[in-house]
């Protein structure tokens, strides 16, 4: 029986459960003996000129080794904006003349012992001459974050002048809405950190929690003006990332710089306060949607105008709206659709990738648009989806935005989710509660989505990833992968793939990743790429290894390779029909290293899809929402290990629901962040979420031999709009049309009240 | 984050703690469970030079009955109060309030004396004390005094405690079998109340509707005059001065106070 | 510096510590017990949860000096003779962990919860873990794991009773 598709328990778990993972802060390594500890002085103001820094008191404090400012790191380059954005918007390694957000690193204090750091930080005196904060999706150019740029608009994706004036001609129903996809914090449980040491040979070794050591190495080398060969990155256990640990941040560069400058190892670990202002945030888009169609529910036209608040420096914010635009029309067949995106800079923490990165935003806008259209036309939102979803296809489908959907059966996904939810019964229950005027009203929300996964290149062109498989003389196997697990369970999953080909049990297969000396190339883990590229590479390498072994065994047995049979249960080759003429893999490995490196390259990205149904209760008196049920179809092709795939879905669903209901990074009008701890930033606990009802659905892709697509982000893409739609739905009969996320009790109450006042004034 | 440096003394008795308080004045803070104080110290919002640890003083812990009162020692932990059969029988509102503080780990450490001394107007136990009409037993160099719940809290994080005084016990009237209601409106289960209401036998206490836990006096008066719970609740926000924050503006808080008061008067708990 | 004497995972310890040393740092830095993690500044996340005299506490908000005279149990002290504790085994069986950062704290909170309430309902499990945050699992499988651990432990108790 094949091990593929079975619920193999994670081989990673025992150490996590007993001694705990070894995260960067846990590292004990003789290379790091005598390390100094780096602490960052961060700007307490949103936008200001720095008129002076006095470090004398800090330098005199116990244990302080050094204090460095921008002047000290002047040899380091500035970081250009990503995407086709204004090149004057450069990010310095430490703030030079200006600070542009609360949390921007201004100076570093280096101490002997960790407990001395916070004491010394308080003693660094920085003089700030405050400037007006630059905030919102339409910041005026009266105050410029970057004077040289001449504007706070970083750039555009698409040309607003090309939006068609007649797009909605012939539509009987047209609805417009401005929708905020709020700023959220990735908030992995492990915040950022680093440890760095330089060898006598001038080579840097850096331990950094990341999502792909090779990308982090490239970033470090570039920002430290080094050749890539001068940098080794080692990935410790990583306590969650969600898109925000890709590459290298300036803090990582500074830690490495300090280690070189002081000639001793240096370490840094971020507090949660720092993490919530210093790590990139996610989302932060404004969507102006217009949707039009016929009164009986045909959607004929859709326009999406995006504004991306990139924060103070254009990091992933420069290209996230490109992904949003790519997925504008989602799973629907919309005859006329267009979108455009503007990127602005504001005096806030820079925006980066966050679970879904650009695609959840597209999905959230579109799914609200579909519901707004259905409400305006007086139609059931399920019917509108049925009517407009693309029909099932097995040949790739090209959208108007250039996306090439590989395989999909969106209507079946919708129907399965509705059936599992008991949609008809839920609507009946809702009607009954409405008729009774219950305090607790029921809301049912749908979201049908398609998303894009499996981009990213480790080497060459086309989505690809490498794997090296080696069988050892002792009967164990080792896999080297260019992916970078941090909770996804690659050690188990990759071992399953190799075991399937080699017959070596999962427990005897070790996975290694994240050491750039061992694995120089790799695309890391993000964008839901790992299994479909990295996993496919493991399969390919394992198969090639068996073929290589077959050749060697054939030579040994003086038989034709074609006459050899590989017996997985014995991990041994024998001549067909002659079990005695056998050569075990271990014997071949003993004679000569049995090792194959393979690169799997796919023809393109894959497009998982699904439908989520959220059921909520809203207390119409207080506005308090309760998420009662989440029923989801998330079809990411063939499932390798249901245990792991379900875990990915659960996590995504939870995070997406949290964005819909509670999470938001909030700034006041002066640009001061108000959500700088987990007491204020409403990270959800188990109490706010229900158990999830997952519906199985597996439509294979033809883009890789495993038939798999990515499942890491799908949960968050579907659940966010489903929950938001459910909450609006719960109070729709009171006249509420839209509530922005997070749909807090206050917002719901205000929406109910505003709708009531509106209808009263209509009646008056 | 870590606290600034301080000296530490484990008090040998309540008297010893009071002596140390008298000696060090404002530079000293009393440490019991530490779940109000240590978070403030880690954020460096509090930087005492001396911590006087009374957490190990058994003489200050425990739940007992004394005549008409239930007596709760100042260092009684929330979890112990919530689980106390005596408290659940004699003052179930108080036991329930203790079960609503923070999360299990916090309830295993935090103490009633600490919570009252910290005087967070959004907290559970100050509101419960006001609803029950209890008293706080305070000891200082000048001796022992008892302060009524309505007089104990002066403002945000401010009480009548003098620098050399220590809360040693809390007394609440025994009210077995008297119906009560408790409403804690939160964003997440382990958050502080956006608005809280505790009601028992005509007394109504509000949390987070002003700088201290408050009595909903107008609503109480209406009830006393024979108004229905629903009508009285309409007056619950009268005379309050709620603040504004991330979670609620004044208007929403006032609205919540009215709705939650009605529910509390109908003996609902949430 | 203050002298403290305590028992950690069954072993008696005596150390000189700075009064401000947090219990979590005492465990991690002085004793090398690094399973408990620091995930926040505000007693919110529970990643540092250990047992103090058998009750779950957040070791980032307990001073090492406050633990003097008491017994501390960390995740490292749960497994006996290489066998996972029933709670640890249930977390593995139910895939109740992904990145693992919250896991030791979550496991210790669960051990504490089940000691107080051996047969919790799903709602009681969720409330019982309200002080422990996880960003990976959506809590679904954590809740399953706690319920499974409760069942497994009940099975053990029944087994002993039958023997007796």
pLDDT of C163 over the 80 cut:
no
pLDDT of A763 over the 70 cut:
no
| pLDDT at A577 (0 to 100) | 87
| pLDDT at A189 (0 to 100) | 98
| pLDDT at A112 (0 to 100) | 98
- Choose the closest CB to C56 out of B1, B4, B105: B105
Q: Which CATH superfamily is domain C2-77 in?
A: Beta-grasp domain (3.10.20.30)
Model confidence pLDDT, tens digit, residues A355-399: 999 999 999 999 999 999 999 999 999 999 999 999 999 899 999
pLDDT of C162 over the 50 cut:
no
* CB spacing of B187 vs A118 below 8 angstroms: no
pLDDT of C161 over the 70 cut:
no
Q: Which of A496-500, A579-583, B41-45, C100-104 has the least mean pLDDT? A: A579-583
Chain B interface includes A419 (CB < 8 A): no
Residue extent(s) of CATH 3.30.365.10 domains in chain A: 357-452+606-763, 464-601
Q: Cβ neighbours of residue A308 under 8 Å, at least 6 residues apart?
A: A284, A285, A317, A320, A321, A324, A341, A342, A343, A344, A351
**Percent of chain B at pLDDT exceeding 90:** 96
| pLDDT at A762 (0 to 100) | 57
| pLDDT at A457 (0 to 100) | 64
CA A131 to chain centre: 33
Name which of A685, A691, A716 to mutate to probe chain C: the one with the most chain C Cβ atoms within 10 A of its Cβ.
A685
pLDDT of A458 over the 90 cut:
no
Enumerate chain C positions whose Cβ falls within 8 A of a Cβ in B: 2, 18-20, 22, 25, 41-44, 46, 49, 52, 55-58, 60-63, 65-66, 68-69, 109, 112-113, 116, 127-128, 130-132
For A556-563, what is the mean pLDDT? 94
Scored b (16 or more CB within 10 A) or e, A323-336 reads bbbbbbbbbbbbeb
Model confidence pLDDT, tens digit, residues A302-330: 999 999 999 999 999 999 999 999 999 99
Architecture label for domain A357-452+606-763 = 2-Layer Sandwich (3.30)
For A745-751, what is the mean pLDDT? 98
Instruction: Kindly write down the DSSP assignment for every residue of A556-585, as one continuous string.
Output: HHTS-GGGEEEETTTTEEEETTEEEEEEEH
Per the prediction, chain C carries an average pLDDT of 94
Q: Which tokens in the block code for residue A256?
A: 């490495």
The residue with greater pLDDT, A513 or A581, is A513
Model confidence pLDDT, tens digit, residues A111-147: 999 999 999 999 999 999 999 999 999 999 999 999 9
Model confidence pLDDT, tens digit, residues B243-256: 999 899 999 999 99
A464-601 CATH, one of 3.30.70.1530, 3.60.15.10, 3.30.365.10, 3.40.50.80: 3.30.365.10
Banded pLDDT at C159 (limits 50, 70, 90): very low
Banded pLDDT at A589 (limits 50, 70, 90): very high
Q: By three-state DSSP, how is residue B218 classified?
A: helix
Q: How far is A143 from chain B (nearest CA, A)?
A: 27
Q: From A192, which residue of chain C is nearest by alpha-carbon distance?
A: C39
Q: By three-state DSSP, how is residue A261 classified?
A: helix
Model confidence pLDDT, tens digit, residues B83-128: 999 999 999 999 999 999 999 999 999 999 999 999 999 999 999 9
Q: Among A691, B44, A654, which residue's Cα sits nearest to residue C102?
A: A654
Q: Which helix (H) or strand (E) covers residue C5, if one does?
A: strand C2-8
Place of tokens 């417009």: A176
| pLDDT at A464 (0 to 100) | 95
**Percent of chain C at pLDDT exceeding 70:** 95
| pLDDT at A581 (0 to 100) | 86
- Choose the closest CB to B185 out of A622, A688, A750: A622
pLDDT of A460 over the 80 cut:
no
CATH topology of domain B7-53: 3.30.43
Phi-psi region of A83 (alpha: psi -120 to 50; beta: other; left: phi over 0): left
Name which of A273, A621, A660, A676 to mutate to probe chain B: the one with the most chain B Cβ atoms within 10 A of its Cβ.
A621
Please report, for chain B, the start and end positions of each structural domain, with discontinuous segments joined by +: 7-53, 58-173, 180-265
pLDDT of A267 over the 90 cut:
yes
Output DSSP code: residue A528: T
Residues of chain C contacting residue B53, judged by C-beta atoms under 8 Å apart? 65-66
Model confidence pLDDT, tens digit, residues A57-76: 999 999 999 999 999 999 99
Q: From B42, which residue of chain C is nearest by alpha-carbon distance?
A: C41
Model confidence pLDDT, tens digit, residues C7-31: 999 999 999 999 999 999 999 999 9
| pLDDT at C158 (0 to 100) | 46
pLDDT of B34 over the 50 cut:
yes
Output DSSP code: residue C22: B
Architecture label for domain B58-173 = 2-Layer Sandwich (3.30)
| pLDDT at A98 (0 to 100) | 97
C86-163 CATH, one of 1.10.150.120, 2.40.128.690, 3.50.50.60, 3.40.50.1100: 1.10.150.120
Banded pLDDT at C79 (limits 50, 70, 90): confident
**Percent of chain B at pLDDT exceeding 70:** 100
Per the prediction, chain A carries an average pLDDT of 96
d(CA B74, CA B122): 20
| pLDDT at A760 (0 to 100) | 62
* CB spacing of A487 vs C42 below 8 angstroms: no
Beta strand C71-73 with C2-8: parallel, antiparallel or unpaired? parallel
CATH topology of domain B180-265: Enolase-like; domain 1 (3.30.390)
Number of other CB atoms surrounding residue A6 within 10 Å: 13
| pLDDT at A455 (0 to 100) | 81
- Choose the closest CB to A685 out of B4, B189, B248: B189
Chains that touch C (3 or more CB pairs under 8 A): A, B
Per the prediction, chain B carries an average pLDDT of 97
Interface subset of C 53-72, CB within 8 angstroms of A: none
pLDDT of C107 over the 80 cut:
yes
Chain A interface includes C81 (CB < 8 A): no
- Choose the closest CB to B4 out of A119, A622, A750: A119
- Strand runs (DSSP E) across C9-139, as ranges? 11-17, 49-52, 55-58, 71-73
Q: Among B148, B199, B142, B143, which residue's Cα sits nearest to residue B171?
A: B148
């Amino acid at each position: 029986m094949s091990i593929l598709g079975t619920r193999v328990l994670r081989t990673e778990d025992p150490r996590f459960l007993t001694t705990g993972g070894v995260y960067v802060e846990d590292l004990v390594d003789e290379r790091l003996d005598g390390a100094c500890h780096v602490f960052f002085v961060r700007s307490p103001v949103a936008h200001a000129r720095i008129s002076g820094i006095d470090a004398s008191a800090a330098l005199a404090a116990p244990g302080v080794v050094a204090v460095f400012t921008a002047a000290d790191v002047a040899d380091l380059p500035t970081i250009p904006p990503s995407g086709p954005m204004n090149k004057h918007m450069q990010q310095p390694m430490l703030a030079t003349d200006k600070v542009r957000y609360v949390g921007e690193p201004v100076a570093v204090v280096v101490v002997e012992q960790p407990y001395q750091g916070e004491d010394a930080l308080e003693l660094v005196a920085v003089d700030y001459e405050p400037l007006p904060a630059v905030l919102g999706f339409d910041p005026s150019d009266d105050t410029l974050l970057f004077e040289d740029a001449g504007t706070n608009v970083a750039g555009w994706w698409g040309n607003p002048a090309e939006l068609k004036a007649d797009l909605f001609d012939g539509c009987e129903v047209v609805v417009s809405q401005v929708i905020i996809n709020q700023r959220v914090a990735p908030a992995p449980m492990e915040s950022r950190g680093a440890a760095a040491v330089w060898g006598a040979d001038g080579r840097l070794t850096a331990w950094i929690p990341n999502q792909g050591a090779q990308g982090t190495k490239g970033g470090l080398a570039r920002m430290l003006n080094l050749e890539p060969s001068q940098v080794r990155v080692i990935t410790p256990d990583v306590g969650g990332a969600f898109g925000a640990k890709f590459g290298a941040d300036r803090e990582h560069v500074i830690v490495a710089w300090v280690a070189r400058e002081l000639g001793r190892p240096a370490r840094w670990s971020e507090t949660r306060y720092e993490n919530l202002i210093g790590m990139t945030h996610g989302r932060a888009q404004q969507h102006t949607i217009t949707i039009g169609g016929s009164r009986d529910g045909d959607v004929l036209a859709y326009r999406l105008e995006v504004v991306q608040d990139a924060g103070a420096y254009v990091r992933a914010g420069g290209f996230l709206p490109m992904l949003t635009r790519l997925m504008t029309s989602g799973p629907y067949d919309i005859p006329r659709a267009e979108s455009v995106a503007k990127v602005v800079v504001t005096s806030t923490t820079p925006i980066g990738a966050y679970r879904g990165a650009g695609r959840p935003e597209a999905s959230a806008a579109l799914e609200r648009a579909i519901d707004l259209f259905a409400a305006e036309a007086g139609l059931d939102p399920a019917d509108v989806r049925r009517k407009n979803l693309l029909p099932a296809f097995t040949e790739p489908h090209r959208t108007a935005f250039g996306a090439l959907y590989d395989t999909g059966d969106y209507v079946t996904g919708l129907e399965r989710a509705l059936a599992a939810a008991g949609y008809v019964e839920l609507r009946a229950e809702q009607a009954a509660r409405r008729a009774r005027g219950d305090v607790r009203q029921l809301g049912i929300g749908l979201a049908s989505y398609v998303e894009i996964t499996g981009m990213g290149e480790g080497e060459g062109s086309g989505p690809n990833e490498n794997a090296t498989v080696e069988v050892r003389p002792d009967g164990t196997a080792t896999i080297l992968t260019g992916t970078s697990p941090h909770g996804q369970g690659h050690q188990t999953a990759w071992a399953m793939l190799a075991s399937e080909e080699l017959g070596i049990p999962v427990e005897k297969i070790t996975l290694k990743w994240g050491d750039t000396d061992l694995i120089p190339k790799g695309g890391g883990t993000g964008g839901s790429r790992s299994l479909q590229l990295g996993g496919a590479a493991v399969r390919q390498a394992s198969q090639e290894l068996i073929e290589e072994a077959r050749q060697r065994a054939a030579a040994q047995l003086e038989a034709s390779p074609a006459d050899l049979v590989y017996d997985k249960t014995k991990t041994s080759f024998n001549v067909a029909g002659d079990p005695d003429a056998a050569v075990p893999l271990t014997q071949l490995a003993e004679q000569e290293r049995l090792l194959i490196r393979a690169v799997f390259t796919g023809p393109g990205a894959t497009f998982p899809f699904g439908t989520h149904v959220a059921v909520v209760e809203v207390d119409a008196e207080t506005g308090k929402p309760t998420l009662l049920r989440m029923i989801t179809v998330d079809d990411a092709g063939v499932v390798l290990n249901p245990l792991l795939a379900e875990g990915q879905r659960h996590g995504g669903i939870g995070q997406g629901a949290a964005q819909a209901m509670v999470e938001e990074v909030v700034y006041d009008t002066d640009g001061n962040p108000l959500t700088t701890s987990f007491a204020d930033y409403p990270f959800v606990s188990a109490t706010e979420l229900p158990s999830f009802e997952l519906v199985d659905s597996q439509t294979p892709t033809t883009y890789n031999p495993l038939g798999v697509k990515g499942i890491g982000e799908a949960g968050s893409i579907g659940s966010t709009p489903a929950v938001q739609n459910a909450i609006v739905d719960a109070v729709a009969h009171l006249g509420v049309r839209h509530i922005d996320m997070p749909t807090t009790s206050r917002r719901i109450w205000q929406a109910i009240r505003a709708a009531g006042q509106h209808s009263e004034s209509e009646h008056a | 984050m870590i606290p600034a440096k301080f000296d530490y003394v484990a008090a040998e008795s309540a008297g010893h703690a009071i002596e140390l308080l008298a000696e060090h004045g404002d530079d000293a803070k009393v440490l019991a469970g530490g779940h109000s104080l240590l978070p403030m110290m880690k954020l460096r919002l509090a930087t005492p030079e001396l911590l006087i640890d009374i957490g190990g003083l058994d003489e200050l812990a425990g739940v007992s009955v004394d005549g008409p009162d239930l007596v709760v020692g100042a260092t009684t932990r929330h979890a112990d109060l919530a689980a106390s059969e005596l408290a659940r029988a004699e003052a179930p509102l108080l036991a329930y309030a203790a079960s609503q503080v923070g999360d299990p780990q916090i309830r295993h450490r935090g103490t009633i004396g600490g919570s009252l001394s910290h005087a967070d107007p959004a907290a559970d136990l100050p509101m419960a004390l006001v609803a029950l009409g209890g008293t706080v037993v305070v000891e200082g160099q000048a001796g022992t005094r008892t302060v009524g719940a309505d007089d104990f809290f002066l403002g945000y994080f401010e009480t009548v405690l003098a620098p050399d005084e220590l809360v040693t016990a809390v007394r609440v009237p025994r009210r077995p079998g008297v119906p009560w209601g408790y409403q804690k409106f939160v964003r997440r289960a382990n958050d502080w109340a956006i608005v809280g209401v505790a009601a028992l036998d005509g007394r109504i206490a509000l949390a987070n509707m002003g700088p201290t836990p408050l009595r909903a006096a107008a609503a109480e008066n209406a009830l006393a005059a024979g108004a229905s719970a629903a009508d009285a609740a309409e007056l619950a926000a009268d005379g309050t001065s709620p603040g504004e924050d991330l979670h609620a503006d004044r208007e929403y808080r006032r609205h919540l106070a009215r709705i939650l008061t009605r529910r509390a008067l109908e003996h609902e708990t949430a | 510096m203050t002298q403290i004497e305590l028992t950690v995972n069954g072993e008696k310890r005596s150390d000189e510590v700075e009064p401000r040393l947090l219990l979590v740092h005492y465990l991690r830095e002085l004793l090398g017990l690094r399973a408990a993690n620091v995930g926040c500044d505000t007693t919110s996340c529970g990643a540092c949860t250990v047992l103090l005299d058998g009750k779950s506490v957040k070791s980032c908000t307990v001073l090492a000096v406050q633990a003097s005279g008491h017994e501390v149990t960390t995740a490292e002290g749960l497994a006996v003779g290489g066998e996972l504790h029933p709670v640890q085994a249930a977390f593995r069986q139910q895939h109740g962990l992904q990145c693992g950062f919250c896991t030791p704290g979550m496991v210790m909170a669960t051990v504490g919860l089940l000691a107080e309430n051996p047969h919790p309902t799903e709602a009681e499990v969720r409330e019982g873990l309200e002080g422990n945050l996880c960003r990976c699992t959506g809590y679904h499988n954590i809740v399953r794991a706690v319920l499974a651990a409760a069942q497994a432990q009940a099975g053990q108790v029944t087994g002993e009773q039958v023997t007796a």
